[in-house]
Amino acid sequence: MPVKSVKDMDLTSKKVLVRVDFNVPIVNDKITDVTRITAAIPTIEYILKQKGATVILMSHLGRPKEGERKPEFSLAPVAQKLSELIGKKVIMAADCIGDAVEKLVKDSKPGDIILLENVRYYHEEEKNDPEFAKKLAKLGDVYVNDAFGTAHRAHASTEGITKFLPSAAGFLIEKEIEFLEPIVRNPKQPFVAVIGGAKVSSKIAVLESFLEKCSAMVISGGMSYTFLKAMGKKIGKSLLEEDYVDTAKKFLKTAADKKIEIIFPLDRVCAKEFKEDSEPIYVESDEVPGDLIGMDIGPKTIDAIKSCFATAKTIIWNGPVGVFEYKNFQKGTYAVAQMIANADAITVVGGGDSVSAMTEFGYADKVSHLSTGGGASLEYLEGKSLPGIVALEK
Ligand code: AMP
């Protein structure tokens, strides 16, 4: 069902409570990646353009334990960074609920931006406690959710609050739905999925759901070795999830029954040790000899992926095809990023590592959509309903 958009709301003279995802990495008091802050700006600016509107932002940061208010979990550095990026003062609140915050909001003027302190300072947030949600709701006249990354969790600031305020989606959530929904329902064919990364366990549900809709699938990265093991191949000392070998066997049988082409690495770059400076050893085989570790895909595999992309009309990529953090083993992931950037198809890249690879290699603006949601993207693609989104449906 379509969600209600921030554009469907009359925001004139309203205090607009916006749930954003400002869960940014902070090292030694410095924010090391501002992507999530920048991403929230279009929705904030849109609201500020509405006559008399005030923006009240709320977010979580990290995972503070109950009652723990350490400075490293404070959103204060984010207020400062947002202020620099948006070129406007951002008022940092000392808390996210309570009398002092209510007064701060009451005294605010149209055009002000207030950032509430970390909602996870209260364990009631993750428990989706209705009383806590009600206290948050007291701070706004309407609610906008623009935090796709937490939409798969029914928390007070993502789901509970919608019971107390008229609610709508911000532009980030709208864009995620715009690109992910057609993939779940009816992707433009041929649809090719490239799934990599470390673990079968975290991707098996999405792999299974893609079997229902894709014409070909590339399974690579560390998780491909559990599948190779299931096929009776030698995998050396490569990553293995022993508990998932049977699951992998079942998956392969379903794929064969459905006649879905699954491309596994045909050749690979291996290492003697899982280390940054390990010497890359090329192995022109679909097996890993001796006690080597499979670290990256090789040129034959890259060519196979290229042929598969040639006719694709939808491509989704989630999970690096090799240990791309190590320079000696990033050629495969680089090649996939480049092929996706040049593909004549709807291209969607999801998952933290694939998104950072796309950004690091300079291709972030060459894809139809970079899905920033991590777990939320995967659950959406599996076809699950995300509570934070269901709550915004018309
Ligand atoms: P995920 O979060 O499941 O998408 O996994 C991402 C991680 O998978 C990255 O840190 C990669 O280094 C890792 N990865 C990719 N290929 C391999 C491989 N062949 N062996 C071990 N880890 C890998």
* Cα 319 to middle of ligand 1, angstroms: 7
160 in catalytic set: no
Q: Which pLDDT belongs to residue 42?
A: 97
Among all chains, which residue has been given the structure tokens 């701070």?
139
**318 Cα nearest atom in ligand 1:** 4
Decide: 140 in ligand 1 pocket, CB within 6 A.
no
Q: Select from 293, 290, 262 the least CA-distant residue to 278.
A: 293
pLDDT at 120: 97
Structure tokens that stand for 233 in this block = 């191949």
Does the annotation count 352 as an active-site position?
yes
pTM of the predicted model as reported, rounded to 2 decimal places: 0.90
Give dist(CA 99, CA 391) in Å, integer. Answer: 28
243 φ/ψ sector (left φ>0, alpha ψ -120 to 50, else beta): alpha
Ligand 1 contacts CB of residue 373 (under 6 A): no
Number of Cβ within 10 Å of residue 352's Cβ equals 16
Does the beta carbon of 35 lie inside 6 Å of ligand 1?
no
Whether 290 is a known active-site residue: answer: no
Among protein residues, the one with the nearest Cα to ligand 1's atom 11 is 323
What confidence tens digit (pLDDT) does each residue in 240-284 have?
999 999 999 999 999 999 999 999 999 999 999 999 999 999 999
The residue nearest atom 18 of ligand 1, judged by CA position, is: 222
Judge if the beta carbon of residue 237 lies within 6 A of ligand 1.
no
Mean pLDDT of all residues belonging to the chain:
96
- Other CB atoms within a 10 A radius of the CB of residue 260 amount to 17
Is residue 319 within 6 Å of ligand 1 at its C-beta? yes
What pLDDT, in 10s, does the model give residues 310-355?
999 999 999 999 999 999 999 999 999 999 999 999 999 998 789 8
Closest Cα to residue 101, out of 65, 159, 56, 141? 56
Q: Ligand 1: which of 207, 223, 239 to mutate, most ligand atoms within 8 Å of CB?
A: 239
pLDDT tens across 148-207, in order?
Answer: 999 999 999 999 999 999 999 999 999 999 999 999 999 999 999 999 999 999 999 999
Q: 298 CB less than 6 Å from ligand 1?
A: no
Question: What pLDDT is stored for residue 351 in this prediction?
Answer: 83
Strand-strand pairing, 191-195 and 167-169: unpaired
Out of 14, 15, 19, 36, which one is annotated catalytic? 36
Beta bridge partners of 143: 17, 167
pLDDT on residue 102: 98
Q: What is the pLDDT of residues 361-371, one digit of tens each?
A: 999 999 999 99
Pocket test for ligand 1, best of 323, 328, 356, 358 (most atoms within 8 A of CB): 323
Q: What is the pLDDT of residues 210-242, one digit of tens each?
A: 999 999 999 999 999 999 999 999 999 999 999
pLDDT over threshold 80, residue 67 = no
* Neighbour count for residue 380 (Cβ, 10 Å): 25
Q: Distance, CA 26 to ligand 1 centroid (Å)?
A: 23
Active site residue 36: yes
Ligand 1 within 6 A of CB of 199? yes
